[in-house]
Structure 1
Amino acid sequence: MKRSQRRLLMPLGIAGITALALTACVGDDAGSGGGGSDGEAADCSLYEDYGTFDGAEVNIYGTILDAEADRLNESWADFESCTGIDVVYEGSAEFEAQINVRVQGGNPPDLAIFPQPGLLASVAGTGSLLPAPESVQANAQEFWSEDWQNYGTVDGTLYGAPLMASVKGFVWYSPSVFEENGWEIPTTLDELDDLTATIAESTDDTGVVPWCVGFGSGEATGWPGTDWVEDYVLRTAGADVYDQWTSHEIPFDDPQIVDAMDRVGDLILNPDYVNGGIGDVSTIATTDFGEAGLPVLDGTCAMHHQASFYEGFWSDDNSVPVAEDGDVWAFLLPSEDGSNTVTGGGEFVGAFSDAEEVVAVQTYLSSDLWANNRVSLGGVISANNGLDPENASSALLTSAVEILQDPDTTFRFDGSDIMPGAVGTGTFWTGMVNWVGGESTESVLSTIESSWP
């Protein structure tokens, strides 16, 4: 057999690799490597320390689909060209269920992009997920805050470095529709309630319904509803209660959680307030989250609650202007005291193989070079502190990056994502579907509480 050519500073994935070896190529040139979208030849000097491989293939499994998957593939195009590694990505709406099936069946991917720290922790608990190699650990320590590192850590061992991130709790709207009707951006939750009522009172004249909502997401149906509840728990009960709730130091059906969920219900279970451009309350459970906000563009819906990543869903080619005077814009769900209090999410890359080419890809994905390359392609952000906020594709996403990088921001990771999988990606998701189907708040929360392992 002809031996593959690999030019490595030292074998990747083996103890002894240093942070310098794999990050020296980034430095001041972060973000200039491109993702392969401009048709120009790649600057391979940025990738030379990852090594060169002859015909190697690395497969990655994750939840990222459609246009976002296309941009993901574009984000490592130059890396592939320069290293010779063929990165093969497979996206699935059934990832949360299928990753365990594949692991148990002895057919895990080389790398998996976990959308929930809780799921990463449960898979790591099976012994099948490998601890992060030293090169990834070095990047995590350099480019990610301690909190973000902790989300990928299980029992003191880092298994997955963060990838992309999102600021949750944005409320998307049409600036022109708001201006035409004289609607003001709310600064408190009470003002949001008042705005919702005002829009509903004028629906017969304007044709605009206050909210459009969709919980649909394949096997993950229900998660957009958990985002609503988490945002309201953080804003109405505070960060300490949020932490106690997500760690089960207080019951899932604590009265403070009931109150927060009822506040959400006042908005999205009211038949006069939803489901703009789609149908009645019952359509929430079946409307795909990616399509749920689109009625904002045609003026049949006033507001849509979804994370910063939703910018990538307004069009497949970034053709919808996202700006204060554009077709669509967003404001953060207000806090009670005017502070930057936000929930957010993100992905974590874990490995089932320690082959040199796999470690090279895993290391690249944890770097500031990858973060700048991907964010420059539009639609997403990252909490990587080596990311230049100006690389974001809109002023809103630039502000979201700045929120994540602001030390004064009170940030909490998406609650369902850090809860045990049986709850966070199980009964909490299904409970939200049952809730919009007519089950009471108390009954739903009690069922979730009884499921906590």
Structure 2
Amino acid sequence: MGLVLALAGLLASACTAGPGADRVSVIASWTGSEGEAFGKVLRAFKDETGIQVDYQGTRAVDQVLASDVRRGTAPDVAVLPNPGSLAAHIRQGQVRPLDDVLGEQARGSFGRQWQNLLKLGTANLYAVPVKADVKSVIWYNRASLPGPAPRSLAELGALSTSLIAAGATPWCLGMGAPPTSGWPGTDWIEDILLHTAGPEAYRQWSAGTLPWTSAPVREAWKAWGNLVTVPGAVRGGTAAALLTDFGDAGKGLFTTPQGCALEHQLSFIMGPYQAVRRPDGGGPRPGADFDFFRFPGANVSEVSADLAGMFHDTPAARRLMVFLTSDKAQRIWPGIPGGSTFSASRTVDPGVYGDAVSRKVAATLTSDPQQCFDASDLMPATMTGAFYRAVLEYLNDPGQLETLLSRLENVRGGIPPGEWLDVPCGQ
């Protein structure tokens, strides 16, 4: 079920409270160094309010939360990496709306596009983004990208073809992410669909009203296949991609000779990049050694976020939700060197980010005119799981695409309409 980390020891010195002091319980997916980083946010809350925080970190946050809800022991606040999971709890009446909790100043921290996303398809505000990521980016080693960044999917394909012709390998690609292996491929297909068919078709697809066998969806799969399944396109071939952990795939950007030239990956990957060590002991530096260009096409971005929802309406839980929207809270984690963590708050001073590449990511999150949540994060869990598996099967045998799409369409048809989440792209 994953590793469970209670931050009692981590928070003990800062969170000692007297008898009868207020307490708030929190669950999230962060353990290890991520748990320690979130612990700094919670310590700042304790220092400001005197409220004791009981934190549980577990990689199986969905399962643990579902079990706690069934037993009637849900935490006061849950931070979930999947908007679809939080929305399921909203539909069951387990999450409290935040409209009368967050004042205008707190709500104003996030632009209109984020405020619309955080309603999760309802008329009310239900979530606060603790941290966020941009997914519509392609990373490259600054020393090896020939010419300007592609402006269209056709130009991206031409760049990939030219790299193969020159004897280079265009794509770093890794599908491994147990127990959710395959999601890096779903990100690819989502981005292609978003930038070719447009935000409205993307919304219909993520909401379960656009068939998997429709032309826009089929063409997105084919476009991805044309990029990564041709001989020489992927480091080690697609067989290697199926076995490579997503966090290791991009290391090929920094090997000598270079193992691959480009990687489509969310902004979080900056952390693993900077952790790579070369023979001289140094690591790749953002801006100097690596950078990104926007996914080519329309000016729209696919984003993801870890969202906090309030399960119990208590004074302490309310104060925590307000604190999480504050400039003080939103800049703590991004301010940790090498943390590769970003805020969607437009009030956070860009100077908190230590390099120009991170500032570009933050600017994308706070100022893009249109942003769409990761589609597979919005879909019902059954659909998402089938999507992950289909990506792996497609890479193993691209010739079975029609069979895979028909199978995915059958899964879609078996899911009740009420389980789908309709979240228009924020703008």
Task: Give the equivalent residue in structure 2 for 1:37.
Answer: none
Q: Which amino acid aligns with 1:285?
A: L
- 1:86 Cα deviation after fit: 4.4
**Aligned pairs for 1:289-308 within 5 A:** 289-298=246-255, 299-308=258-267
Q: 1:385 aligns with which of 315, 334, 346?
A: 346
Opposite residue 137 of structure 2, the aligned amino acid is F
Q: Does 1:198 align with 2:162?
A: yes
2-side partners of 1:213 and 1:139: how far apart? 42
- Shift in Å at residue 140 of structure 1? 5.3
SS at match of 2:179: helix
How many Å separate the matches in 2 of 1:227 and 1:414? 7
- Does residue 373 of the first structure (1) align with residue 332 of the second (2)? yes
Deviations 1:198-257 (A, max 9, x none): 222333xxxx52211122222322222111011100111122322222223321221111
Q: Summarize deviations over 1:432-453 as a string: whole Å, max 9, x none.
A: 2222232622222222222222
- Distance of 2:352 and 2:242 partners within structure 1: 35
Alignment of 1:263-278 (within 5 A): 263-274=223-234, 276=235
Matched, 1:285 2:242: yes
Q: Report the equivalent of 1:429.
A: 388
d(CA) in 1 for partners of 2:285, 2:20: 42
Q: Which of the residues 317, 320, 323 maps onto 2:286?
A: 323
CA-CA distance at 1:261 after TM superposition: 1.2
Instruction: Give the Cα separation in 2 of the matches to 1:317 and 1:302.
Output: 16
State the one-letter code of the partner of 2:361: A
Which sections of structure 2, spanning at least 5 residues, go unmatched? 1-13, 416-427
Aligned to 2:135: 168
Residue in structure 2 matching 1:187, options 148, 151, 156: 151
SS at the partner of 2:156?
helix
Are the aligned partners of 1:380 and 1:392 in contact in 2 as well (CA < 8 Å)?
A: no
| C-alpha distance in structure 1 between counterparts of 2:249 and 2:105, whole Å | 37
Partner of 1:216: 176
Q: Which residue of 2 aligns with 1:250?
A: 210
Asked if 2 retains the 8 angstrom alpha-carbon contact of 1:53 and 1:84, the reply is no
- 1:362 corresponds to which of 291, 297, 321: 321
> Structure 2: how far apart are the matches of 1:58 and 1:402?
32
Question: Distance in 2 between the 1:294 and 1:60 partners?
Answer: 35
Cα distance in 2, alignment partners of residues 433 and 124 from structure 1: 31
What's the RMSD between the two structures over aligned residues? Answer: 2.9
Instruction: Report 1:393-432 matches (<5 A).
Output: 393-406=354-367, 409-423=369-383, 425-432=384-391
> Which of 84, 89, 94 in structure 2 is aligned with 1:123?
89
**Residue 117 of structure 1: how far off its partner (Å):** 2.0
Contact kept? 2:113, 2:370, Cα under 8 Å: no
Matches within 5 A, 1:89-104: 89-104=55-70
Work out whether residues 275 and 283 of structure 2, in 8 Å CA contact, stay in contact via their aligned partners in 1: no
> Is residue 427–residue 448 contact of structure 1 (8 Å, CA) maintained in 2?
yes
Greater shift after overlay, 101-110 or 414-423?
Answer: 101-110
Q: CA deviation at 1:137?
A: 5.9
User: What is the CA-CA distance between 1:196 and the residue it aligns to?
Assistant: 1.5
Structure 1 equivalent of residue 27 of structure 2:
61
Within 5 Å, give how 1:128-139 maps onto structure 2.
Answer: 128-132=94-98, 134-136=100-102, 138=104
Specify the code of the residue in structure 1 equivalent to 2:161: A
Distance in 1, Cα, partners of 2:346 & 2:34:
22
| Change in 2 beyond 3 A, CA 1:147/1:383 | same
* Native 8 Å contact 1:65 1:92 kept in 2: yes
SS in 1 for 2:131: strand
Relative to structure 1, the CA distance from residue 128 to residue 240 in structure 2 (aligned partners, 3 Å threshold; closer, same or farther) is closer
Are 2:277 and 1:313 aligned?
no
Cα pair distance change 1:129/1:405, threshold 3 Å: closer
Is 1:229 equivalent to 2:189 in the alignment? yes
What's the counterpart of residue 44 of structure 2? 78
Question: How far has the Cα of 1:263 moved from its partner?
Answer: 0.6
CA offset digits 1:352-409 (Å, max 9, x no partner): 23343333222211222211222222412222122222322321221222223336x3
Q: CA deviation at 1:170?
A: 1.2
After TM superposition, list the pairs within 5 Å mapping 1:140-159 onto structure 2. Answer: 141-153=107-119, 155-159=122-126
For 2:371, the aligned partner's letter is: F
| CA separation of 1:426 and 1:101: change in aligned 2, threshold 3 A | farther
Q: Find the aligned partners of 2:76 and 2:247 in 1 and give their Cα distance.
A: 28
Q: TM-score, normalised by structure 2?
A: 0.81
Change (3 A) 1:403 1:152: closer
Q: How many residue pairs get matched?
A: 388
Shift in alpha-carbon separation, 1:415–1:137, aligned structure 2, 3 A: farther
Deviation at 1:273, TM superposition (A): 1.1
Identity of aligned residues (%): 29
